[in-house]
Chains A and B, each alone.
Chain A
């Protein structure tokens, strides 16, 4: 390591811990630029999903038309007249997989800070009008983990916990695709004490795989009188 490099490296990547130099710009001098906290090497591996070339219903990458999964959901009588779209921000590549594993399973809570700003920016004014609801964890799971990852991701959009989740269902990531879509068990409940006046809701979660979890929460909200529910997840598997 050259001492000149050490002098230049002003920042430390929040994920890989390597030092790097934030490029000098007028924005940074004036304090307008947002802190990135990821080194250039990690930024390269973080791949945003382009809304124009992904499924408008669930952000699945590949084609801009409604994907087969979303069409299958539409066939359900309930979803035929209750609109639900999900927006995912990043591709679930191997780098993202490792990052989410470290965040959720190892419990590195502060990694959420990498995304809170971007999530708030993408929600924009919608977050002010609607009520931002993180997908809850069962109490056992939340105790085990120490935090709810969806709540941390939504931290910059004033999340409201109006849902609760019962513990019988078990881990979603341990099930097969068929089991997930087929689970009709109602794991979510609206906590009646904290229901706000808003009629629009945005659900926040970490990963969208088949959509079973987030739609099951959306359904509970619709049945509780919501007028519009949509979803935002960090990654699209």
Chain B
């Protein structure tokens, strides 16, 4: 690509690349002329990316009467993409023409203070330098979001310069879900519907205990928002949650277009009224959603990764609704909710109306030493044996993979039932969880990866080494929330085995007890 000042004497365009502006352009501005990036007719001669900063480009107003390329504008709808991402499906000539007619806009890959425009990373640790064949200079690139394709100093982002065409389809967005909401769910659902319809744009929190039935609370609010022509996004840090939510929304909204995005999903450029996505995939979106609902807002890696917050901010419109959905808000968010600075609704009851199981603390002297000797502490063995004799299924959480591997042989030897273990890098992770759900495995040893999203009827929950720093308050509340989820067996034994209780353990128990004291939904 070559960029030339329009009035420069040495510019001579080939006839078919000639798109002169239809209106005079301000002085000091430049007009780009794109030619094939690699000119195969002239060997060893390259047309380089510009030294001229893209900021000084003149973008004209959209020309009336120009028929834009549907495919290109479709890809750019609500997105900001690298020129390289567009090129396989579009040509430089098409892009040039759309630029000349004011339908697209160019921006640099990095801001002036060396921040990646896509993921917001600006620390030198996230950047690297290479000798770039395009700009023939040492070029900085962003390593933080490299898995979405490289953003370097000479990269160009393309965005649409026209408002997205209003969809004429005007679907009815009927809600096919016919269940009934519990009083708590109803309360939260009304709160959300009201907020999305009449409330001022901004953040709010939907704090619903594990097993409250969060997804059902969303349906009515989402339906009303869709009907009023809003673009709605349901985002979550975890791809398995996306895969689980997609069929449920598909059933609930049979005539609404739904697109799901996660690493490895099929259509990267799908466009729909309702989008379900991992927070990572939001990096490609740009100021397009009117309402953003973030499920499991406190889950890893969202809480640890500023990039994902940046992605959500960029994907949402400037004046948009943000709904945080969680059973275990971080302390900062809890405080904001209690003080009233963050509008919020709390659903303290499970949908079946029974109390949450309250964890018991069992002192297990020197459990770590025992585990290192590949032994299961006596208190744990007794507890396990008791439940196994009653034909119960058991989750036993442990803090590390190392510990998991140390005690697995002992567990398999001591109990004459099928015992298995899972951890995040386990290749058979999905199959093992399925076997546990089917009841083929009686005891499942696991790290914190199964702390959310897994529902197994009538399961008992133990945490070996609950005083380990990996078990945070929210992890422990989530883990306790695995028990008693089914209305048939609302009771469940939750047992924390520890060697000196921690603040996190005490706070987790307090949180659960506080929720049990409440009867109805609370909104602040």
Residues of A participating in the B interface, judged by any CB pair closer than 8 Å: 1-2, 12, 102, 106-110, 139-140, 142-148, 152, 164, 167
Residue from B40, B46, B130, B149 in contact with A109 in the complex, judged by beta carbons closer than 8 Å: B130
Asked if B150 and A106 make an inter-chain contact with CB atoms under 8 angstroms apart, the answer reads yes
Q: Which 6 A-B pairs have the closest CB atoms?
A: A109-B130, A107-B150, A110-B128, A140-B38, A108-B146, A143-B38
The verdict on B132 contacting chain A, using a C-beta distance below 8 Å, is yes
Whether A110 pairs with B133 at a CB distance below 8 angstroms is no
- The verdict on B271 contacting chain A, using a C-beta distance below 8 Å, is no
| CB-defined contacts of A148 to chain B, threshold 8 Å | 133
- B38–A108 CB distance below 8 A: no
**Could you show 22 A-B contacts with beta carbons less than 8 Å apart?**
A1-B469, A102-B147, A106-B146, A106-B147, A106-B150, A107-B150, A108-B150, A109-B128, A109-B130, A109-B141, A110-B143, A139-B46, A140-B38, A140-B40, A143-B46, A143-B134, A144-B84, A145-B133, A146-B133, A146-B139, A146-B152, A147-B133
Note all chain B residues with C-beta closer than 8 A to A102. Answer: 146-147
B184 to A: closest C-beta gap in Å: 35
Within 8 A of A (CB), among B94-131: 125, 128-131
Is the CB of B165 closer than 8 A to any CB of chain A?
Answer: no
Q: Does B15 contact A (CB under 8 A)?
A: no
Q: Which residues of B sit under 8 angstroms from A152, Cβ to Cβ?
A: 130
CB closest chain-A residue, reference B155 = A146
The closest CB in chain B to the CB of A41 belongs to: B425
Decide: A2 and B469 in contact? CB cutoff 8 A: yes
Q: Which of A1, A110, A167 contacts B40, CB < 8 Å?
A: A167
Give Cα distance in the complex from A167 to B44, angstroms.
12
Best-surrounded residue of B38, B46, B129, B469 (most CB of chain A within 10 A): B38
Contact of A142 among B40, B133, B149, B150 (CB under 8 A): B133
Q: What is the CA–CA distance of A147 and B152 in the complex, to the nearest angstrom?
A: 12
What residues of A have a CB within 8 angstroms of the CB of B37 in the complex?
143
CB nearest to A112 among chain B residues = B130
C-alpha gap A108/B145 in the complex (Å): 10
With a cutoff of 8 Å between Cβ atoms, the chain B residues found around residue A147 in the complex are 130-133
Closest chain-A Cβ to B316's Cβ sits at a distance in Å of 27
Contact, CB under 8 Å: A146 / B469: no
Task: State in angstroms the CA–CA spacing of A148 and B132 once bound together.
Answer: 10
Minimal Cβ-Cβ distance residue in A for B304? A1
Shortest CB distance A98–B (Å): 10
Please tell me if the beta carbons of B143 and A146 are within 8 angstroms of each other in the complex.
no
Q: Which of A106, A107, A110, A139 is the one whose CB lies under 8 Å from B44?
A: A139
Residue among B133, B134, B143, B150 with most chain A CB within 10 A:
B133
Docked complex Cα distance between A139 and B40 (Å): 8
B38 touches A106 (CB 8 A): no
A106 touches B128 (CB 8 A): no
Determine if A108 and B469 form an interchain contact, defined as CB atoms under 8 angstroms apart: no
Chain A positions within 8 Å of B125 at CB level: 12
CA of A2 to CA of B472, assembled, Å: 12
Residues of A within 8 A of B132 (CB): 146-147
Question: Which residues of B from 401 to 435 have beta carbons under 8 Å from A?
Answer: none
Shortest Cβ distance from B126 into A: residue? A17
Interface of chain B residues 176 through 198 with chain A (CB within 8 A): none
Bound CA span A87–B315, Å: 48
Interface centre among B132, B143, B149, B152 (most CB of A within 10 A): B143
Beyond A106-B146, A140-B38, A147-B130, 17 additional contacts (C-beta under 8 Å) are A1-B469, A102-B146, A106-B147, A106-B150, A107-B141, A107-B146, A107-B149, A108-B128, A108-B146, A108-B150, A110-B128, A140-B40, A146-B150, A146-B152, A147-B132, A152-B130, A167-B40
Interfacial chain B residues near A140, Cβ < 8 Å: 38, 40
Contacting residues, chain B, for A164 (C-beta < 8 A) = 44
Q: Nearest residue in B to A3 (C-beta to C-beta)?
A: B469
Q: A103: nearest residue on chain B (CB-CB)?
A: B146
Q: Are A139 and B38 in contact (CB under 8 A)?
A: yes
Nearest chain A CB to B428's CB is how many angstroms away? 15
Q: Which chain A positions have C-beta within 8 A of B149?
A: 106-107
CA distance A65 to B176 in the complex (A): 68
B394 to chain A, nearest CB (A): 28
B18 to chain A, nearest CB (A): 24
Residue of B at shortest CB range from A5? B469
Rounded to whole Å, the gap between the CB of B153 and the closest CB of chain A is 11
- Listed residue (B44, B129, B134) with the most chain A CB atoms within 10 angstroms of its CB: B134
> In whole angstroms, what is the CA distance A152 to B143 when docked?
17
Q: Give the residues in chain B near A143, CB-CB below 8 Å.
A: 37-38, 46, 133-134
The answer to whether B38 touches A146, judged by C-beta atoms less than 8 angstroms apart, is: no
List the A residue with the shortest CB-CB distance to B151. A107
Does the CB pair B134–A146 fall under 8 Å?
A: yes
> Which chain A residue shows the least CB distance to B47?
A143
Q: B257 to nearest A CB, angstroms?
A: 30
Q: In the docked arrangement, what's the CA distance between A83 and B125, Å?
A: 45
Chain A min CB distance to B305 (Å): 11
User: With the chains together, A108 CA to B37 CA distance in Å?
Assistant: 21
User: What residues on A are CB-neighbors of B38 within 8 Å?
Assistant: 139-140, 143, 167
CA of A82 to CA of B345, assembled, Å: 78
**Chain B minimum-CB-distance residue to A152:** B130
Chain A residue at minimum C-beta to C-beta distance from B425: A41
> Whose C-beta in chain A lies nearest to the C-beta of B48?
A143
The CA-CA distance from A11 to B139 in the complex, in Å, is 24
Complex contacts, B84 vs chain A, CB 8 Å: 144
Residue in B closest to A167 when the chains form the complex, CB atoms: B40
Output the least CB separation between B497 and chain A (Å).
20
| Distance in Å: Cβ of B457 to nearest Cβ of chain A | 34
Q: In the bound complex, what is the Cα–Cα distance between A2 and B471 (angstroms)?
A: 12
Write out the residue numbers on chain A whose beta carbons fall within 8 Å of the beta carbon of B134.
143, 146
Q: Considering the chains assembled together, what is the distance between the CA atoms of A164 and B38 in angstroms? A: 15
Q: Contact check: which of A110, A139, A167 meets B130 at CB < 8 Å?
A: A110
Question: Given the complex, which residues of A lie within 8 Å of B143, measured CB to CB?
Answer: 108, 110
- Roughly how many angstroms separate A144 CA and B149 CA in the complex, as a whole number? 11
Chain A min CB distance to B128 (Å): 4
Cβ of A46 to closest chain B Cβ, rounded Å = 16
A144 partner residues in chain B, CB cutoff 8 A = 84
Measured CB to CB, the closest approach of chain B to A191, in angstroms, equals 9
Q: How distant is A16 from chain B, measured CB to nearest CB, in Å?
A: 12
Chain A min CB distance to B169 (Å): 36
Q: What are the residues of chain B within 8 A of A142 when measuring CB–CB?
A: 133
**Alpha-carbon gap, A152 to B133, bound state (A):** 12
Residue numbers in B under 8 Å from A145 (CB-CB): 133
